[in-house]
Chains A and B, each alone.
Chain A
Amino acid sequence: MSKAPLLQIENLHVRFKSDRTVHAINGLNLHLQEGEMLALLGESGSGKSVTLKTLLRLLPPKRTEIDGTVQVNGTDIMTLSGTRLSAYRGGDVSMVFQEPALALDPVYTIGDQIAETVMRHKSVGRAEARQVALDMLTRVRIPSPERRLKNYPHEMSGGMRQRAMIALALASRPKLLLADEPTTALDATVQIQILLLLRELQREFGMSIIFVTHDIGVAVEISDRVAVMYAGNIVESGSTRDIIKDARHPYTRGLLAANLHGVDRGRRLDTIAGSPPSLETKPDACSFAPRCTEARPQCLRALPPFFAPSPGRQVACNLEEGYSPASHGLTAAPAIAC
Chain B
Amino acid sequence: MSKTDALSHEADRGGPRQPLILARNLKKHFPVRSGLFNRQTATVHAVDDLSFEVRKGETLGIVGESGCGKSTTARLLIGLMELDDGSIIFDGDILGSDISLKDMRRSVQMVFQDSYASLNPRLTISDTIAFGPKVQGLSDPKDRARHLMARVGLDPNRFAHRYPHELSGGQRQRVNIARALAMSPRLVILDEAVSALDKSVEAQVLNLLTDLRVEFGLTYIFISHDLNVVRYISDRVLVMYLGEVVEIGPVDAIYAKQAHPYTASLFAAMPSMDPDNRTQEPPLAGDPPNPIDPPPGCRFHTRCRFAEHVCRDKRPALAAFGDDPDHLAACHLRDPSSGHSLAGKEIAA
Contact = CB atoms under 8 A, between A and B. Distances in A.
B272 A268 contact: no
Given A188-B225, A221-B279, A275-B170, A43 B270 contact: no
A43 B279 contact: no
A264 to B, nearest CB: 8
B158 interface: no
B200 A221 contact: no
Contacts of B227: 188
A65 B278 CA distance: 40
B200 A220 contact: no
A220 B269 contact: no
Contacts of B199: 43, 214-216, 255, 258-259
A1 to B, nearest CB: 29
Contacts of B280: 196
Residue in A192, A244, A262 whose Cβ sees the most chain B Cβ within 10 Å: A192
A44 interface: yes
B287 A217 contact: no
A123 interface: no
A275 B168 contact: yes
B282 A192 contact: yes
Interface residues of B, number: 49
Contacts of A265: 231-233, 251-252
Given A43-B199, A260-B229, A275-B168, A187 B279 contact: no
Contact of B207 (A192, A220, A269): A269
Given A189-B65, A265-B231, A275 B266 contact: no
Nearest to B282: A193
Interface in B271-323: 271-276, 278-288, 290
A191 B273 contact: no
B42 interface: no
B200 A240 contact: no
Interface size class of A (residues with CB under 8 A): 35 or more
A263 B226 CA distance: 13
Nearest to B171: A275
Nearest to A199: B278
Residue in B170, B270, B275, B276 whose Cβ sees the most chain A Cβ within 10 Å: B275
Contact of B275 (A241, A263, A268): A241
A260 B270 CA distance: 12
Interface in A230-265: 239-241, 244, 254-255, 257-263, 265
Interface string A34-65: 00000000011000000000000000000000
Interface string B247-269: 00001100000000000011011
A189 B282 CA distance: 7
Given A192-B269, A241-B275, A259-B273, A271 B204 contact: yes
Given A159-B286, A189-B265, A261-B273, A268 B210 contact: yes
B275 A220 contact: yes
A322 interface: no
A193 B225 contact: no
B275 A240 contact: yes
B274 A271 contact: no
A189 B229 contact: no
B274 to A, nearest CB: 7
A254 B168 CA distance: 19
B80 interface: no
A266 interface: yes
B231 to A, nearest CB: 7
Residue in B203, B279, B282 whose Cβ sees the most chain A Cβ within 10 Å: B203
A188 B266 contact: yes
Given A263-B232, A265-B233, A265-B252, 8 more contacts: A190-B286, A220-B272, A239-B275, A244-B273, A254-B200, A260-B226, A261-B228, A271-B200
16 contacts: A143-B286, A158-B66, A187-B66, A187-B225, A187-B287, A189-B65, A191-B269, A192-B271, A192-B282, A192-B283, A196-B281, A260-B203, A265-B232, A269-B207, A269-B232, A271-B203
Interface of B: 65-66, 168-171, 198-204, 206-207, 210, 225-229, 231-233, 251-252, 265-266, 268-276, 278-288, 290
Interface of A: 43-44, 143, 157-160, 187-193, 195-196, 214-218, 220-221, 239-241, 244, 254-255, 257-263, 265-266, 268-273, 275-276
